[in-house]
Chain A
Amino acid sequence: MSKRVALEASFAVAEAARMADVDVTAAYPITPQTHIPERLAEMVADGELDAAYIPVESEHSAMSACLGAAAVGARTFTATAGQGLELMHEVVYVASSMRYPIVMAVCNRALSAPLSVWGDHSDAMAVRDTGWIQVFCQNNQEAFDLTLWAFRVGEDPKVLFPVMVHLDGFTLSHVTEPVILPEQSEVDRFLPKFQYLFALNPDKPMTHGAFGPPEIYSEAKIAQEVAFRKSKEIILQGWNEFGNIFGRHYFPVEQYRTAGAKTLLLTMGSSTETAKIVIDERRDKGEAIGLISLRLWRPFPFEEFRQIVKGAETLIVLDRCISSGMGGPVFSEVRSALYNEVPKPKVVNIIGGLGGRDISENDFEYVIDRSREIAKQGSEKMLETVGVRGKMIGIRG
């Protein structure tokens, strides 16, 4: 029997790694990710998890140790956040290019300066081009589910890419919610043992990580990109199978009350749950408004996204990050995904929730009303915010 327990999202992630029976975890503690490696270290020390826990001196080393572990075919897990992910940055690229299916939870955190340990999506957006499969969680159950799912998808011989599971720092990582934990037998049915065909083996020597001079680098990158795009098929299969076994269903673009919606709000991560309350109120009053959330961030779900938003008149994108001199990164991607579509909604961008600033129901009310005004005016300012003190006047692109 599965059981329903109260768990912090961080502990739910650690529990998923334990039930996945990871072989190696190497991590460096950083707020707000700390509870994940702490819990894993405890599990290893108490004999609940038979794994090597490698304490390292930095995130750069954490990911490097993970590369080594994955290279010999170990099921490998790590977690980080904010500055830690930045320090790890160059090795994050290596993991995907060398096709090591490491699973990493990222407790999303703002980037310094000013120094902030609190949540936003700046860390996630800084690694969006690294070639990892990336998903966003809205609650603790999803943090558990998607961590488990990440191993299955990443390790599939047709995929062999690392997977990043994004969960909001503090608003998820440190919040306790009910989580349904499955039976170990169900997990084992969903997640086969990791069998890596190219594991390093002294009896059959081969080279991992050879250098790529100009004669071969382009071919290597295109091969990687083609394989990455093809991984979508297994991503969907993985969610299908997950739904069959556990009864919870995941989609590349999650929809909430979108039928016949003229206005769509797009959020990522935990603020989606707050937005649902506002959507409910407005829907119940008869407004044609719905909510969508990008579950799958990489590879970008072009097809599903276009299909879902094509009937809407206005698409409001709430970004919890600024791409300096550009705007919201999610906004700029979804707008470009729609550019050649006919018909397509007007896309409006609002930036908020930076560095742990709450996004309340009232904020969402403002976001929706203000976006409709902007859409009606036809001209868009380049910088629109919510929950920021001080009037924005004449700030144009």
Chain B
Amino acid sequence: MVKQLTWIDMEVGNIVKEAGSASFRRTGDWRTERPIIDKEKCNKCGLCWLYCPDVAIRPLENGYYEPDLYYCKGCGICAKACPREAITISEEEEK
């Protein structure tokens, strides 16, 4: 729960003095489709990681990559960028 700021609490120009606060914002719940990476096809090139506009692709220790579904908005750019067609976009299912 975000603290309910009053107008008196506002910083001059609405500056946010702590950097990186966007990481608290769950953008994953905007998603209607999710990327799924097929490790069989992946050659660990990292293009999906490079192209994801939300920095939502995480490098794993074993060299593979994995979408972070807390942030992934399901835009599908990683799937387009993947030269191995290792990423498929599939519809989110009703919970």
Contact = CB atoms under 8 A, between A and B. Distances in A.
Contacts of B17: 206
Contacts of A97: 13-14
B15 interface: yes
A309 B15 CA distance: 41
Label chain A's interface by main secondary structure: loop
A219 B21 contact: no
Interface in A93-126: 97-100
B8 interface: yes
> Which of A100, A160, A210, A215 has the most C-beta atoms of chain B within 10 angstroms of its own C-beta?
A210
Contact of A226 (B7, B18, B19): B7
A222 B13 contact: no
Contacts of B10: 219-220, 223
Interface string A210-230: 101001101110110011000
B60 interface: no
B63 interface: no
A226 B20 CA distance: 28
A283 B6 CA distance: 54
Contacts of A99: 12-13
A219 B14 CA distance: 10
A100 B15 contact: no
A219 B19 CA distance: 21
Contacts of B8: 223
B13 A98 contact: yes
Contacts of A366: none
A341 to B, nearest CB: 29
Interface in A73-110: 97-100
Given A206-B16, A207-B19, A210-B15, 14 more contacts: A97-B13, A100-B13, A160-B13, A198-B13, A206-B15, A207-B16, A208-B15, A210-B21, A218-B7, A219-B9, A220-B10, A222-B7, A223-B14, A227-B12
Q: Which 9 A-B pairs have the closest CB atoms?
A: A205-B19, A99-B13, A223-B10, A207-B16, A219-B7, A222-B7, A223-B7, A98-B13, A206-B17
Interface of B: 2, 4-21
20 contacts: A97-B13, A98-B13, A98-B14, A99-B13, A100-B13, A160-B12, A160-B13, A198-B13, A205-B20, A206-B18, A206-B19, A207-B15, A210-B21, A212-B14, A215-B2, A219-B9, A220-B7, A220-B10, A223-B7, A223-B10
